[in-house]
Amino acid sequence: MQIDHFIHLPYTLAGFAVGALVGLTGVGGGSLMTPLLVLLFGIHPATAVGTDLLYAGITKFSGCAVHHRKGSIDWSVARRLAAGSVPAALATLALLAHWGAQSGRSSATISVILGYALFVTAIVLLFRPWLVARMQPAFAKFSERQILTLTVLLGLVLGVLVTISSVGAGAIGVTVLLMLYPQMSTLRIVGSDIAHAVPLTLIAGAGHWAMGSVDWPMLVSLLLGSIPGIMIASHFAPLVPDRALRALLAFALVLAGAKLAF
């Protein structure tokens, strides 16, 4: 079989662009890749989500390994999140399978939820420091048991959101964890979130694969572009005006969200 049956240059270039933006801003690839596939390439929403979930699982696995070597993962927090997200992901997959992953009902549901998830991500991009500073004092009054319960509930919400839209495990999850665990360093929060996202995205991605919602040649092409994109852009991240780029990204996410949700 010829190599061009597996590698499609437009997807590879898109993967490189998304990888570069992830490397420059740290914004989760799902917030960028899934709407790009749906709006620019006309990919069915279920296929875009399923393919992006496995893409995220593969790329986040390497990130998890790096954080594990650095000791920057709180496995108790990751387990709390997974206690909510994994059952929620399985239940959501069952619902999508019942509807039919490629059905009009599933497509409409995925598009609307993806659109609103992009709105929330844009808000988080612009206002995370303000949101965290505003909410941390309220969460500081909660008991350890209440924090545990809220962490599991966060995992549940992320399980549904990520399985349907592939968006949320990064920007939204990290922001809420910063509110819940103010005593924990940002690096450790990020590492714990990535560690939790690996099983979530792989389980959700495997479920979409079982429903026929994964395009393997597209996945390979995206990975071939995004991995070097992340590596190259990460070296230049300190030179880029982060605030301006995040504002531009947030504006783009709002436009994409409006297109998908309405």
Average pLDDT, the chain: 89
Q: Is residue 105 part of a domain?
A: yes
Q: Is residue 79 part of a domain?
A: yes
Q: Is residue 11 part of a domain?
A: no
Rounded CA-CA distance 151/142 in Å is 12
Which has more pLDDT, 102 or 242?
Answer: 102
Reduced to 3 states, what is the DSSP secondary structure of residue 72?
Answer: coil
DSSP state of 4: G
Q: Is residue 8 part of a domain?
A: no
Q: Give the Cα-Cα-Cα angle 195, 179, 121 (nearest 5 degrees).
A: 70
Model confidence pLDDT, tens digit, residues 133-157 = 999 888 988 999 999 999 999 999 9
Rounded CA-CA distance 119/250 in Å is 8
Please provide residue 168's backbone torsions phi and psi, each rounded to the nearest 5 degrees.
125, -30
Rounded CA-CA distance 122/240 in Å is 19
Q: How many domains does the chain have?
A: 1
Q: Is residue 67 part of a domain?
A: yes
Give the confidence band of 6 by pLDDT, cuts at 50, 70, 90: low
| CA distance between the termini of the chain | 42
Which of 78-87, 104-113, 166-175, 189-198: highest mean pLDDT? 78-87
Other CB atoms within 10 Å distance of the CB of residue 142: 13
Other CB atoms within 10 Å distance of the CB of residue 103: 13
Give the confidence band of 48 by pLDDT, cuts at 50, 70, 90: very high
Model confidence pLDDT, tens digit, residues 154-206 = 999 999 999 999 988 788 999 999 999 999 998 899 889 989 999 999 999 99
Residue 113 to residues 23, 160, 257, 262, Cα–Cα distance (Å): 26, 10, 9, 11
Q: Is residue 24 part of a domain?
A: no
Do residues 115 and 215 lie in contact, with contact meaning Cβ atoms separated by under 8 Å?
no
39 burial via Cβ count (<10 Å: 0-12, 13-18, 19+): middle
Q: Is residue 4 part of a domain?
A: no
Q: Is residue 5 part of a domain?
A: no
Residues of the domain holding 71: 29-261
Other CB atoms within 10 Å distance of the CB of residue 108: 11
Model confidence pLDDT, tens digit, residues 242-258 = 777 788 888 888 999 99
Q: What's the whole-model pTM score?
A: 0.90
Reduced to 3 states, what is the DSSP secondary structure of residue 167?
Answer: coil
pLDDT higher than threshold 50 for residue 1: no
DSSP state of 7: -
Q: Give residue for tokens 């852009």.
A: 233
Does the CA dihedral 12-218-41-233 come out positive or negative? negative
Residue 76 to residues 152, 193, 250, Cα–Cα distance (Å): 11, 11, 32
